[in-house]
Structure 1
C-alpha cells in the first residue's frame, strides 16, 4: 500500500508542471496530511521531487510547492521497425533529451539488428553525458507477436528470419540495463498516456502507421494488452470485400489492402510510375511509398486516388473498434503519419461519423500524435517509467 500511495503522489506531481502543495496533494490523493508528509519526505530524499518556491493560497502561511525533478531518472527507448531503428533518451518529465535514427540492417539478421541497437544506446549515452546510474532501463517497442513473459520476439511477418529471438535478454546482457519489451502499438499508446497532462482517465484508439498497421487500445487510462500481450492486431479486418485474397482466406483484409507494400503494388498496377521495387527490401518499399505520397501531395490524380482509398479503408477498420468498444477518440501516428496526415485528417472523420453507430458518432475526435515519428521509441521509454512509477491497483491484490 505504501508503494502504491507513493506512485499516486509522484504521478500527481508529474502531471502538474507548475507544482502542487502538500495540502493540494492531500486533497487529490485522499491521503492524510501525515501520510502525505511522509511520502513527500521520501520522494525528496530520493531526489525525485524538489521544493521549488512558495505560493499563497488564502489566509495562513504560504505553501511550499513540490515539483518533479526531471533529471533524477532517465529511460531509454528503442523502436524496432523493419526499415529504421529509432532510439531516444527521456528524462523523468518525458522530455526527449536526445534521439537517433539508423537504418535497419538488411538482411535483418537478429544479431546484426541487436548490434545496431546496442551501438545506438551507447552512442546516445556518450553524446548526452547522462549518468548511466540514473537510467532506469531500456524499453524496446517491437513488431508483434511477442512472448512478453520470456521477452521473446516470436515471428513477426515483417521481420524476416526472426523466429523466437530472445531480444530482452540479449539487449540486457549487452547494455547492462534492465529491458522492458513492448509490442509497438502498445508502446505508442503508453506514450500518449504518459505524455498527457490530463488528470482524468482516457479512452482512445491509437492507429500506428508504419511498415505494418496496428492499433493500440486504451480504456480507463490503461493499455489493453490482452492475454498474451499482443492486442491490437487488426490485419484481418475486412475493409474491401472485392479486394485481393488474403493469406487467411478472406478477401480485402487490412493486411493486403492498407500496408505500404500493398499500396505501392496497387499504384504500380494503376500505372503510377514509381520505378522498380524490390518487395523483399523494406527500405526499397519505403522509398517507393514515400514517392507515392509525394506524388499524391503534388496533385498526381492516380497517386491521390490510392492514398484516398487507403484512408477510407483504414477508417472502416477503426470503425469496427469504435463500435465494439464505444470509443470517441482516435489518434494517428507512426513513421508514415506525416506523409498521410493531410489526407487522413480530411477523410477519416467523415468516414467514421458515417460508420459509427454510437450516439457520440458526430463527436468522434480524430487527431495526430504530438510525439511525431519518434512515438514508438518514446512509448518504449515511457513503458520503463510506467513500470516504475505509475499507480497500478494490481499491486494492492493479495498474493496467494
Structure 2
C-alpha cells in the first residue's frame, strides 16, 4: 500500500503540490485520477488541473482504463518515458562512464571513455562533452528534451568549490567549477552530486528499493560511502557531507587516510585500502603485485582471484573488509532505524554476496529493532555504470519532483 501525503501537501505551494502528484504517478505503474486524490488527500479539482497540465506537456499519458468501482471505468495515467531524457556521468580516475536515460531512469545508451587520470579538468570535460554530443546526435534527440546532465563523483563536498576525492586529483579539481564548465560546453543544465547519493536517488527513482522511503545505499568502488534516503528525500546534513561512512574510524592506530584521520573504514574495508595493505606488506606485495606495477585495480583483481584459488592471504584481506564494513553498517542501522540497506557498486561485484550474508547475520543477531521490524539487506547494481545511472536520476528527481530533493539540518 502506497503512503499518502496529507500532512506533507497541506500548505505547500502549487509547484510543490504538482511535484508530489507527479511523483505519485512516477512511482505507480498506472494510477487513476481518483486514486491520486485519495493518496494525496487533494481535491479532485486540484488533481484534474495538475493532470491536465501534465498531459498537455506530454510528461504523462493516458494508458487504458482501470476497473470500475460501480460507475464509469477510470482512465489510467502513467509516465511518458519517451518525451524527456537525462544524461548521467560518473567521473573516475581510470574510467568515465556516460549514460543516457529516459524519464523512468532506465538506460538507453552507455559510452565509456578514458578517465580523469592526471589531466587538467578542462581537457577531461571537453572529452566528456564530446561523448555527450555523440550520444545526443547519434540518437537524433532534440537538445531541448535533455532535462540536464548529472555528474557523480566521490569525496568531500566544499560548497561552490566542489570537492576533492583523493590527493592525486584534489589539487586539480577541488577549486574547479566543473558544473559551469560542462554546462558551457554542452549548453545543458548540470548538477553535481556525490556518487553514493546518486546511487541512492537512482534506487529510489527506479523503484529498486521496493518503494521503501527510509533506506541506505552503500556504494563501494575504490572507496566507500553511503546515500541516506528518509521519506523519499536525501538527507544531506549541515554541509552536504552526510554519508561519509568511509571516514568512520575503526582502527585508531591504522593507516593515515587521505582525509587526515587514521584508521578510517576506507583504509581497511574498501578496495583502495586493501590494495594499500598489500603494497605495504612485502610478503603480500610479492604475492599479489609480482610485477611491482602498483596498479590498484589489477592488484585488487589478483586478490579476488586468490580468493577463488583458496589463498589464505586473500581470504584474510577480504574477511577483514567484510567484518569491518558489516559492523559499521549494523551500527548505522541501529542509529537511523532503517528498514532497508542496499549494497551497490563495482567494489561489491565479485564478493557482494558475502557482505550481504554477514550483514544479515549481524542484523538478525544484534539489530536493536529485530523484534520490532525486519531490516532488508540486498545487493543492488554492481556494474561500472551504477553511479552514472544514479546521476541521471538526480537530474530527473531535481527537475520533476523537487519537493523532496533533500533534507538539510
Distance 1:198 1:249, change over 3 A: closer
What SS does the corresponding residue of 1:70 show, helix, strand or coil?
Answer: coil
Separation in 1 of the partners of 2:371 and 2:142? Answer: 48
Distance 1:50 1:328, change over 3 A: closer
Shift of 1:365: 2.2
Greater shift, 268-277 or 367-376, is seen at 268-277
Partners of 2:397 and 2:405 within 8 A in 1? no
State whether structure 2 residue 269 is matched by structure 1 residue 258.
Answer: yes
Shift of 1:147: 3.4
State which of 139, 143, 154 in structure 1 corresponds to 2:154.
Answer: 143
Partners of 2:233 and 2:404 within 8 A in 1? no
- Corresponding residue for 1:373? 384
State whether structure 2 residue 222 is matched by structure 1 residue 207.
Answer: no
Separation in 2 of the partners of 1:362 and 1:385? Answer: 32
| 1:310-349 → structure 2 map (5 Å cutoff) | 310-349=321-360
State whether structure 2 residue 181 is matched by structure 1 residue 170.
Answer: yes
Shift of 1:142: 1.4
Greater shift, 157-166 or 181-190, is seen at 157-166
| 1:1-400 → structure 2 map (5 Å cutoff) | 1-17=13-29, 19-148=30-159, 150=160, 152-157=161-166, 159-160=168-169, 161=171, 162-196=173-207, 202-240=213-251, 243-244=254-255, 246=257, 252-267=263-278, 269=281, 270-271=283-284, 272-279=287-294, 284-354=295-365, 356-360=367-371, 363-370=374-381, 372-390=383-401, 392=403
Shift of 1:106: 2.5
Shift of 1:320: 3.0
Q: What 5-or-longer segments of structure 2 have no aligned partner?
A: 1-12
1:6-52 deviation line (CA, Å, top 9, x unaligned): 222221111122x2222222212222222211111111110111122
What SS does the corresponding residue of 2:61 show, helix, strand or coil?
Answer: strand
1:310-333 deviation line (CA, Å, top 9, x unaligned): 111111222332232222421111
Distance 1:30 1:250, change over 3 A: closer
Distance 1:99 1:246, change over 3 A: closer
Distance 1:23 1:371, change over 3 A: farther
Distance 1:288 1:173, change over 3 A: same
- Corresponding residue for 1:398? none
Partners of 1:191 and 1:379 within 8 A in 2? yes
Separation in 1 of the partners of 2:304 and 2:372? Answer: 29
What SS does the corresponding residue of 1:214 show, helix, strand or coil?
Answer: strand
Distance 1:248 1:52, change over 3 A: closer
Task: Name the Cα RMSD after superposition.
Answer: 2.6
Q: What 5-or-longer segments of structure 1 have no aligned partner?
A: 396-400
Greater shift, 297-306 or 178-187, is seen at 297-306
Separation in 2 of the partners of 1:241 and 1:233? Answer: 17
1:62-90 deviation line (CA, Å, top 9, x unaligned): 22111211111111111112222111111
Separation in 1 of the partners of 2:301 and 2:365? Answer: 29
Separation in 2 of the partners of 1:135 and 1:127? Answer: 14
Partners of 1:97 and 1:128 within 8 A in 2? no
**Structure-1-length-normalised TM-score:** 0.88
What SS does the corresponding residue of 2:101 show, helix, strand or coil?
Answer: strand
